[in-house]
Structure 1
Amino acid sequence: MKDLYGLLKRFVPPYKGKVILNILFNFLGALFGAFSFAMLIPALGILFRTQELVTEKPVLDSFSLDGALEMFNYFISQVVIASGNEQALIYIGLFIIIMVFLKVGFTYLASFVMVYLRNGVVRDIRSQMYQKILQLPLGFFSDERKGDIIARMTGDVQEVENSVMNSLEMLFKNPAIIIISLGAMVYMSWSLTLFVFVLLPVAGYIIGRVGKSLKKTSMKGQDKMGDILSITEEDISGLRVIKAFNAEEKAYERFDRENEAYLHIMNKLMWRRFLAHPMSELLGTTVIIIVLWYGGALVLNNESALSAQAFIGYLVFFYNIINPAKAFSTALYSVEKGLASMNRIDRILSQENTINDKAGAQDKASFDETIEFRNVSFKYVNEKVLKKVNLTIHKGQTVAFVGKSGSGKTTLVDLLPRFWDVSEGSILIDGKDIRDIKLHDLRNLMGNVNQEPILFNDTFYNNIAFGVENATEEDVINAAKIANAHEFIVATEKGYHTNIGDRGDKLSGGQKQRVSIARAILKNPPILILDEATSALDTESESLVQEALLNLMKNRTSLVIAHRLSTIKNADVICVLHKGEIIEMGTHEQLLEQKGRYHKLHQMQVF
């Protein structure tokens, strides 16, 4: 229950008005329900002549429960005297119908306002998760599997909705019924109610023990579902490789192994979950029989102040507690299961975002002079990927980075937009440490074109205009023309409003890259980061993309990562990286004359 309280404390405050209304309506519903039972007791006594008729109208100085009962007795007695027992039964029936109408009416209103709370909290959890996913640094996603993150975003949030939010109504409603019914029982016979209080905690303890084991099993089930979704996502993405290597059977065996494990976990979970109702039914019936035996013995032996009809009423109130108590116990089972999913969700929500604006971060609207890497070192875990890198890039320069895979090229340029933060040293733009600049302003100065174009399942227009506010269709078309993309776009069925498919799969590699370049052109950033933008293309596509890149790089400061040295011959500065250090620096001709590592790479490619 502590975890549930923590969940409600975090997400319920915006809906506290709805909670208050829900509790009020539930209380009124329970009160009218109990009142209909309470009025039935004296009516039965008068009808069956176990209680004397009240012929004198009681004088009420102030409102009290005893006074209300006396007045009701007087009313029933007058009906019996004037019209007989059958007419009195009709009046009693109508009275009970009115009370039940008020009860169910207020109960419906309680459920009505609960809808806002239930759906609103689930919406808020999902929104917070998505916002957190967008804010977290890239390092978090290097350690997590995408399928597991999707499982938490979908399956776990759905489980919280089904288990916790569905149960909230019972958790708010049933205590009101139980409290009012217990109050009536105490009023009727405190000694018999004390005996009941001894029995109920025993039943509650047994139910609680099973509920705790349910939470643990549910956590295992949600973790395993995350593994299944991860495997599914990986296999769909790598389906071409699976088929090429005839590995369908191996892929299926891996999936089937995890699926079978999930089956066994969910079997255990459902066995225990379905145990909730029979267990509460058995325990409830046992308690009723014990109370019937004990209370009936007291009434039969005249050892209790309760009359026979009052004892029947007492049992009705007690039974009125049993059903809500059983529903309450079932709700607790569901809550325990849902809280296991909430714990998995919290693994994302509680993650610290290490890359954000520091207090007093400054605005930065333009790039005017230099980018400086000053004694920059970086490590992902323990081993340093970059070591004491010093580099100054002047405005308008094109600086290329070459070296074998794993030398630190991509890491170096990823530090500039703060996808990662440096471990040692600093990066300065116009003399300002980038950690002192607002993150939004910093990234607004840069445009990225990656080795594998990142496109969205949307139209050409929306992909090119992505991240650029108030872009007109004319602006988008001009950007596409500069990127050599206009001709193939207008040749499609709906032109710029044609959907390009998941990750742009309806396009060739060169077309994807030119759309990506058009997006960077439209953003019009002063600093460009080009990460091996032509390495995966055929010769013809490379020529078109290279022309688009040259158009993009005009009058901009460009940081270019390249494997094909022919694409960066005209760079102002070429930096050769090896094991995280810049070991050579100069123009294409200067580096060839040095006869060092760049010369070796050049000779290999020429050969």
Structure 2
Amino acid sequence: MRSGARLLQLLRPYSFLFTAAILATVLASVLDGFTIALLIPFLRTLFGQQALGPAGGSAVQAVLARLTGALITAGAPQAALRNVVVILLVALVLKNAAEYAAAYWNVVIQESVVRDLRLRLFRHLQLLPLGYFQRTKVGQSIARLIYDTDAVKMAVSAALASLLQNSVMIVVYLAILVGLSLRLTLVALLFAPVLLFVIRPLISRLRRRSSELVTERGELTSHVSEMMSSVKLVRAYVAEAFELSRFKALADRYRKRVLRAQRFSSLTSPVTEVFGGMMIVGILWYGTLLALGDRPAMRPEELITFLVVALRLMSPVKSVSNYPAVMAGALASAGRVYEVLDLTPDEGDRPGETTAQFHERIEYRRVSFAYADEAEVLRDVELEVRRGQVVAVVGPSGAGKTTLVDLLPRFYEPTAGALFMDGVPITRYTRRSLRALMGIVSQETILLNDTVFANIAYGRTDFTLDQVRAAAAAANAEDFIARLPEAYQTVLGERGTRLSGGQRQRIAIARAVLRDPPILILDEATSQLDTESERLVQDAIDRLMRHRTVFVIAHRLATVQHADRIVVLHEGRIVECGSHADLLAADGLYRRLYNLQFRT
């Protein structure tokens, strides 16, 4: 389905408000036409004639006579003139009230549609496979979520104001023009097909330029996001000038795209204006012939009213002619949004999935895995872990250690084989319930720009301060948190930049302690800490590991010597498995890695 049709579906929940806005626009347009038509009795009365003239006048006069009756025809001219002015003022007040209602309801609809689309996109992004985020720049996702969805507002605005509402105004004005003079209206309409013929190629080019523009905007956003997250690296390598030149190149490219698109977008309004001017000249020429001939087909006041209506018609016609230009950019952005929404999610619950439970063992049965279009990272892995065991996973860089444990919470799905929990394939469990069984502490601690309390209780609102404090104490974090300016209400800054590496890691451990999970995954949790921080973190980890099933990934073999079992991975395969003493005695890969780290 095309983006335009899909955008219209977003209006469905607001169909009542949408209808009300259209009706308010119709009312405003009719009242606007009515106030203009009142020029006829006003001018006739002003120049000493009967307000609506004798029978046989235009259809507009007949409608006015039916609506106003004796109010503007009976009595002295001064009274008739006064009544015309009063009716005009009342109509103007009602017209502007209707316009206000339509404008406000339009904004409500626009903002509601954009909010709904953002929520839908955000929800969908959360369900996409991790591979999507590995191959997609962060800035591109931000651009889609913020800028492209905001551009959709322009499409909704164009659909409401430029197309439907202005079309209603055009119909009302054309009805008045036809009521005043059918022949003069036909002369005015002769310019419409010529205008369409001229504008069509402009719109075609504008669509292509708009598509290029939104893509370039995403690249610009991506670069800014990347630079802001790497500001320490930039300064460390004195690369400010280099980054500025990169940004300038992208900004220049974006500017060129904008100018190319604007070159065609800006043409629609003046082209419409020129043809509108030609139409007015045609009306003046032919209208004069009709009004001043030997047998006049129009009265002068009707010609003046016709001209006023024709001039008022120019504004909605210009808006409608700009509609394709506005929609070109909006639909290009909408296309980028739906490009993501059309991706197949791999998260979320599926029919038949149940709540995960863990009592006895976890098994990897002939498990293999490869990232998209890449060589296998894991090959035919067989592993059984009993409840309460501590299993260390070691091996050279790139051996597949992190990938092995990432399969357990179903961050990825095996390309062959399967994982089982108590003999049940984990694919039969909902991801939410499966992950609720696990606490994960990784090398790269992720903290939010929020309070200490919110970071420890992340994702839950039912934890009390006492529970959070107990978790922090178990993680050796209570002392340094107490020294923070506002203790547990201290905001940590983006990514926890106000804390040291060891402090951030202890916050992450407290987060895991608070959930009291039966399964714990420690991925290089102490690899980048100084000696004192490592001691505090390791002490917290030792307490956290008690009575839990633990997977420990480590390069430092000193941290895994007391594991119940050590699994040695090499090129995606398990090449050794046993206790520390057994593996040293086997004189295999583990012994070589151990000797490399501890030789003197």
Q: Tell me if both proteins adopt one fold, taking TM over 0.5 as the criterion.
A: yes
Q: Is the 8 A contact 1:468 1:522 kept in 2?
A: no
Q: Is the 8 A contact 1:355 1:418 kept in 2?
A: no
Query: Within the alignment, does 1:556 sit opposite 2:556 as a pair?
Result: no
Query: Within the alignment, does 1:568 sit opposite 2:560 as a pair?
Result: yes
More displaced stretch, 560-569 vs 161-170: 161-170
Q: 1:7 to 1:54 in 2, by over 3 A?
A: closer
Q: 1:566 to 1:89 in 2, by over 3 A?
A: same
More displaced stretch, 148-157 vs 86-95: 86-95
Q: Is the 8 A contact 1:584 1:591 kept in 2?
A: yes
Which amino acid is 1:254 matched to?
A: R
Q: 1:34 to 1:307 in 2, by over 3 A?
A: same
Partner of 1:263: 255
Partner of 1:372: 363
Partner of 2:74: 78
Per-residue deviation at 1:441? Answer: 0.6
Deviations 1:452-487 (A, max 9, x none): 111111121111111244111111111111111111
Q: 1:172 to 1:219 in 2, by over 3 A?
A: same
TM-score (norm 1): 0.92
Task: Give 1:428's match in structure 2, choosing from 402, 420, 438.
Answer: 420
Query: Within the alignment, does 1:187 sit opposite 2:179 as a pair?
Result: yes
Which amino acid is 2:7 matched to?
A: L
Measured in 2, the distance between the counterparts of 1:54 and 1:215 equals 52
Measured in 2, the distance between the counterparts of 1:567 and 1:512 equals 20
Task: Give 2:485's match in structure 1, choosing from 473, 490, 493.
Answer: 493
Measured in 2, the distance between the counterparts of 1:305 and 1:2 equals 49
Q: Is the 8 A contact 2:187 2:282 kept in 1?
A: no
Measured in 2, the distance between the counterparts of 1:70 and 1:513 equals 82
SS at match of 1:334: helix
Measured in 1, the distance between the counterparts of 2:501 and 2:28 equals 66
Query: Within the alignment, does 1:134 sit opposite 2:126 as a pair?
Result: yes
Partner of 1:598: 590
Measured in 2, the distance between the counterparts of 1:137 and 1:280 equals 49
Q: Is the 8 A contact 1:468 1:523 kept in 2?
A: no
More displaced stretch, 558-567 vs 133-142: 133-142
Query: Within the alignment, does 1:69 sit opposite 2:68 as a pair?
Result: no
Measured in 2, the distance between the counterparts of 1:337 and 1:499 equals 40
Q: Is the 8 A contact 2:71 2:83 kept in 1?
A: no
Query: Within the alignment, does 1:585 sit opposite 2:581 as a pair?
Result: no
State how many pairs are aligned: 595
Partner of 2:430: 438
| 1:203-352 equivalences in 2 (<5 Å) | 203-301=195-293, 305-352=297-344
TM-score (norm 2): 0.93
Per-residue deviation at 1:603? Answer: 0.7
SS at match of 1:78: coil
Measured in 2, the distance between the counterparts of 1:211 and 1:239 equals 42
Per-residue deviation at 1:326? Answer: 0.9
Measured in 2, the distance between the counterparts of 1:595 and 1:67 equals 105
Measured in 1, the distance between the counterparts of 2:65 and 2:33 equals 13
Q: Is the 8 A contact 2:72 2:81 kept in 1?
A: no
Q: Is the 8 A contact 2:443 2:526 kept in 1?
A: yes
Per-residue deviation at 1:599? Answer: 0.9
Gaps of at least 5 residues in structure 1 are 57-63
Per-residue deviation at 1:602? Answer: 0.7
Q: 1:606 to 1:303 in 2, by over 3 A?
A: farther
Measured in 1, the distance between the counterparts of 2:129 and 2:524 equals 22
Measured in 2, the distance between the counterparts of 1:52 and 1:154 equals 57
Q: 1:44 to 1:249 in 2, by over 3 A?
A: closer
Partner of 1:414: 406
Gaps of at least 5 residues in structure 2 are none
Per-residue deviation at 1:273? Answer: 3.1
Q: Is the 8 A contact 1:26 1:107 kept in 2?
A: yes
Which amino acid is 1:129 matched to?
A: L
Deviations 1:563-590 (A, max 9, x none): 1111111111211111111111111111
SS at match of 1:533: coil
Q: Is the 8 A contact 2:3 2:335 kept in 1?
A: no
Partner of 1:21: 20
Query: Within the alignment, does 1:512 sit opposite 2:492 as a pair?
Result: no
Per-residue deviation at 1:112? Answer: 2.3
Q: Is the 8 A contact 2:52 2:65 kept in 1?
A: no
Per-residue deviation at 1:281? Answer: 1.5
Per-residue deviation at 1:309? Answer: 3.1
Q: 1:286 to 1:597 in 2, by over 3 A?
A: same
Partner of 1:12: 11
Q: 1:575 to 1:53 in 2, by over 3 A?
A: closer
Q: Is the 8 A contact 1:575 1:584 kept in 2?
A: yes
Partner of 1:59: none
Deviations 1:60-105 (A, max 9, x none): xxxx9846526757553423xxx23x44333322222222222112
Partner of 2:391: 399
Task: Give 1:465's match in structure 2, choosing from 457, 461, 465.
Answer: 457
Percent identity over paired residues: 37
Q: Is the 8 A contact 2:41 2:52 kept in 1?
A: no
More displaced stretch, 348-357 vs 172-181: 348-357
Partner of 1:61: none
Measured in 2, the distance between the counterparts of 1:55 and 1:332 equals 46
More displaced stretch, 397-406 vs 130-139: 130-139
- Superposition RMSD in Å: 2.6
Query: Within the alignment, does 1:30 sit opposite 2:51 as a pair?
Result: no
Q: 1:288 to 1:507 in 2, by over 3 A?
A: same
Q: Is the 8 A contact 1:39 1:72 kept in 2?
A: no
Measured in 2, the distance between the counterparts of 1:52 and 1:89 equals 8
Q: 1:45 to 1:239 in 2, by over 3 A?
A: closer
Per-residue deviation at 1:377? Answer: 1.3
Measured in 1, the distance between the counterparts of 2:553 and 2:104 equals 59
| 1:525-564 equivalences in 2 (<5 Å) | 525-564=517-556
Task: Give 1:201's match in structure 2, choosing from 186, 193, 211.
Answer: 193
Measured in 1, the distance between the counterparts of 2:239 and 2:54 equals 93
Q: Is the 8 A contact 1:53 1:74 kept in 2?
A: no
Which amino acid is 1:32 matched to?
A: L
Which amino acid is 2:13 matched to?
A: P
SS at match of 1:378: strand
SS at match of 2:577: strand
Per-residue deviation at 1:208? Answer: 4.0
